[in-house]
């Protein structure tokens, strides 16, 4: 397999004295989709934040973070973002005092190596609801529209990897279905995606590979289809 875009080896992450990630290995390659699963509090968001450089690894030599094969331990979050890693956080993080148009336009830029595959018009074609609400403030949007806006804003950075935390949490079923279709389209466009979501059936349907975290460790890993053939293991670790 080609070199990973983003990878971690033996990742240990702490919140103060609380040891959250315990030796996690992770890698994502161009164009693939990874499902990141686990019960609440098992380290999923912590892993994403570690990959983004928000939570630094300790200076004890343990754990490696690589971006296109280069040491990324010392990179700041904005440097990792500029290198093509985009994030859709749980809670969305839109600017409520800016309009939909302003939220989108403030993020638009070329990606790593000058990529310009996603522009303003393509995002509006992907999310027609946003095109109807360009002059609405971020705070005036429904939860589903806010999620569309956050994904659209991330796509306008023309990333190589898109990390989505709780992709469909709190959304109505029809809106969630639109989000899953969009995630599949993003993957088909060549962008690698890492998705956290509680709807494990929909998540595994769009993913190539999956990881299940339990208390900060990888308890299950493999192909999405392979995990679907282990219902007892999924039930034990996800409570499904």
CATH number of 222's domain: 3.40.50.300
Instruction: For residue 94, give the 3-state DSSP assignment.
Output: coil
90-141, pLDDT tens digit by residue?
Answer: 988 899 999 999 999 999 999 988 889 999 999 999 999 999 999 999 999 9
In the sheet with 192-196, reading across from the earlier edge strand, the strands are 85-88, 161-164, 192-196, 33-37, 209-214, 217-223
Report yes or no on 155 lying in a domain. Answer: yes
Separation CA 207–CA 184 (nearest Å): 9
Report yes or no on 148 lying in a domain. Answer: yes
118's tokens: 């996603």
Range(s) of the domain holding residue 147? 6-238
Q: What is the reported pTM?
A: 0.94
| Residue 240 binned pLDDT confidence (cut-offs 50, 70, 90) | low
37-79, pLDDT tens digit by residue?
Answer: 999 999 999 999 999 999 988 766 678 999 999 999 999 999 9
Instruction: For residue 204, give the 3-state DSSP assignment.
Output: helix
Report yes or no on 199 lying in a domain. Answer: yes
Q: What is the mean pLDDT of the chain?
A: 93
Find the range with the poorest average confidence among 3-12, 108-117, 153-162. Answer: 108-117
Q: What is the DSSP letter of 58?
A: P
Report yes or no on 1 lying in a domain. Answer: no
Number of domain units in the chain: 1
Q: Is the pLDDT of residue 219 over 80?
A: yes
Report yes or no on 138 lying in a domain. Answer: yes
């Amino acid at each position: 397999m080609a070199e990973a875009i983003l990878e971690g080896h033996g990742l240990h992450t702490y919140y103060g004295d609380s040891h959250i990630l315990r030796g996690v290995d992770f890698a994502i390659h161009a164009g693939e989709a990874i499902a990141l699963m686990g019960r609440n509090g098992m380290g999923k968001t912590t892993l994403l934040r570690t990959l983004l450089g928000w939570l630094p690894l300790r200076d004890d030599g343990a754990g490696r973070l690589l971006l296109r094969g280069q040491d990324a331990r010392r990179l700041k979050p904005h440097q990792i973002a500029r290198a093509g890693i985009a994030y859709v956080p749980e809670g969305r993080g839109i600017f409520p005092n800016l309009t939909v148009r302003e939220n989108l336009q403030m993020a638009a830029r070329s990606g790593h190596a000058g990529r310009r595959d996603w522009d303003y018009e393509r995002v509006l074609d992907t999310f027609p609801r946003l095109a109807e609400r360009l002059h609405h403030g971020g705070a005036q949007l429904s939860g589903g529209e806010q999620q569309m806006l956050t994904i659209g804003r991330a796509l306008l950075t023309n990333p190589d990897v898109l990390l989505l935390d709780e992709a469909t949490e709190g959304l109505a079923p029809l809106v969630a279905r639109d989000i899953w279709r969009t995630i599949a389209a993003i993957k088909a466009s060549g962008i690698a995606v890492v998705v956290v979501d509680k709807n494990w059936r929909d998540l595994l349907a769009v993913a190539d590979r999956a990881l299940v975290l339990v208390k900060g460790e990888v308890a299950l890993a493999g192909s999405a289809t392979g995990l679907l053939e282990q219902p007892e293991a999924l039930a034990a670790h996800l409570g499904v």
